[in-house]
Amino acid sequence: MKQEISLFLFRRDLRVLDNPGLLAACQRGPVLPLCILDEKTPGPYKMGETSRWWLHHSLEKLAHDLDGALNLYVGDPLSILTELLSRYNVRHIFWNRCYEPWRIEQDTTLKTILKEKGITVESFQASLLWEPWQIKTKEDTPYRVFTPYYKKGCLQAPPPRSPLPAPKAPHYIKDEKSIPLTSLQLRAKNGWDHKLEAHWLIGEKAAHEKMHLFLNNDVAHYKEGRDFPALGHTSRLSPHLSFGEISPHQIWHALAGVSGLEEASPSIASFASELGWREFSYYLLFHFPDLPHTNFQSKFDAFPWRADTEALQQWQQGQTGYPMVDAGMRELWQTGTMHNRVRMVVASFLVKNLRLDWRLGAAWFWDCLADADLASNSASWQWVAGCGADAAPYFRIFNPVTQGQKFDPDGAYIRRFVPEIAALPDPYLFAPWTAPIPVQRAAGVILGQTYPHPMVDLAKSRDEALKAFQLLKELPMGLENELR
């Protein structure tokens, strides 16, 4: 009789500490830890290029932390698990829960089939502080507005559990049919992703170091500083959270540990509420699984989006002629991330000044962000577009010039990412076309040659967007669908 073993499936939980599924599996005895790259089931939500790059490095670190015993496969999870069941004596399979609609569907099917084969499947809560079904209004419906969701729902619910230890003396099994990491082909063939390397340290250890650095140096300045992209007072933990290299429980409990810093308390509350926004995004995705592709507010289904591939490309390449927008889009391209304030500015510009569909912007972010996350990306794009849950009202249109003046007052962020206008004096940096020609020339700026003219007129495009929105409001009920 072969020795009985358990399987543990790594997904968005690439860590050893505070990993409830892994811990439970190891408590039963020998474990074959595995990760399956499934390229088909996610359909349009297959991982973007930058996420693939991150996953490559994260798996490399995880394999090291498991003493080389991480088993890798590519293909359909059911076929791969079935094949493993034919070669090993497996009675239990463990995983931590994921919340993307395609994952939920896949996990439900897997559970049913595995159960029929006599296998026990156990799933655990590892990447959210509160399960989405746990938080409901008094009427037993899902919340649609963040503040009551967070304050009345989450903060009144039982507090998040304490982080769990690593498995003690685990017995990991290496399968001879596991494929090498390079066979997953996660890295770009043309090597463009090398440039990202300078900006990140990846893996569980790096995530914890980053959290401690943030808690020691920045969290006290978070509330005041979080909107200023050049100051670096945010945690930059989002890709680590997204891949599960660190859990929200670990961060939540570490925050409680620094709340003794009297002056930091409002900042700690502010930071904790951003973790709350992450939870809210997952909550919305769970209760409204169409969130990634369908307007949360259906009246937006009739919105007259423009079709303009050239404008989309100018935006993607950071060539709009608006320095704050261009700095953000280039930060994204060069580093795989973008500061949250600037994400809002560039998203508003795409959706409102260019009147291009928010789904086009979300798709570009999906491909370029290291923290690309179906819940937060979809909820945030819908929020900026005005069609989401608890969204910014449509008429709130970020002005990229005043946003730059307010949140990058000395121009350090713009100068870093748009170096061709760095020599412009501060008063003109945010709107280069307002500089007198001799000033432009002295700074080496020739609009239309060294840096683009603004691609749209802000006031005119704003008015057009508001008119289009007004039209929506005037549509008689039911006509929205006829106009699609």
Ligand X SMILES: Cc1cc2nc3c(=O)[nH]c(=O)nc-3n(C[C@H](O)[C@H](O)[C@H](O)COP(=O)(O)OP(=O)(O)OC[C@H]3O[C@@H](n4cnc5c(N)ncnc54)[C@H](O)[C@@H]3O)c2cc1C
Least distance (Å) between residue 384 CB and ligand X: 5
- Give residue 3's Cα distance to chain centre: 41
Least distance (Å) between residue 248 CB and ligand X: 8
Nearer to ligand X, 69 or 230 (CB): 230
Least distance (Å) between residue 285 CB and ligand X: 11
Least distance (Å) between residue 271 CB and ligand X: 6
Nearer to ligand X, 239 or 411 (CB): 239
Nearer to ligand X, 170 or 404 (CB): 404
Helix, strand, or coil (residue 150):
helix
Least distance (Å) between residue 365 CB and ligand X: 5
Nearer to ligand X, 119 or 264 (CB): 264
Would you state the structure tokens that stand for residue 316, as one six-digit string? 């993607």
Nearer to ligand X, 38 or 218 (CB): 218
Least distance (Å) between residue 32 CB and ligand X: 31
Nearer to ligand X, 19 or 235 (CB): 235
Nearer to ligand X, 238 or 399 (CB): 238
**313 burial class (0-12, 13-18, 19+ CB within 10 angstroms)?**
exposed
Nearer to ligand X, 200 or 430 (CB): 200
Nearer to ligand X, 142 or 336 (CB): 336
Least distance (Å) between residue 73 CB and ligand X: 26
Q: Nearest CA to 76 among 42, 124, 114?
A: 42
Name the E strands within 265-377: none
Tally of CA atoms within 13 A in the half-sphere of 124 that contains its CB: 22
- Give residue 286's Cα distance to chain centre: 16
Residue ranges in contact with ligand X by CB under 6 A: 226, 234-238, 241-242, 274-275, 277-278, 281, 340, 343-344, 347, 365, 369, 371-373, 376-377, 380-381, 384
Nearer to ligand X, 381 or 469 (CB): 381
Least distance (Å) between residue 238 CB and ligand X: 3
Strand-pair partners of 123: 95
- The residues, any chain, with a CB within 8 Å of residue 472's CB and separated by 6 or more, are 299, 300, 302, 303, 480
Least distance (Å) between residue 233 CB and ligand X: 8
Would you state the structure tokens that stand for residue 135, as one six-digit string? 């938080």
Least distance (Å) between residue 156 CB and ligand X: 21
Q: What Å distances lie between residue 290 and 135, 175, 285, 297, 302, CA to CA?
A: 20, 38, 7, 11, 17
Would you state the structure tokens that stand for residue 54, as one six-digit string? 């991150």
**126 burial class (0-12, 13-18, 19+ CB within 10 angstroms)?**
buried
> Tokens 């685990």 label which residue?
170
C-alpha to C-alpha distance for 14 and 28, rounded to whole angstroms: 20
Strand-pair partners of 147: none
- The residues, any chain, with a CB within 8 Å of residue 210's CB and separated by 6 or more, are 201, 235, 236, 237, 240
Q: What Å distances lie between residue 103 and 8, 12, 173, 482, CA to CA?
A: 16, 11, 26, 33
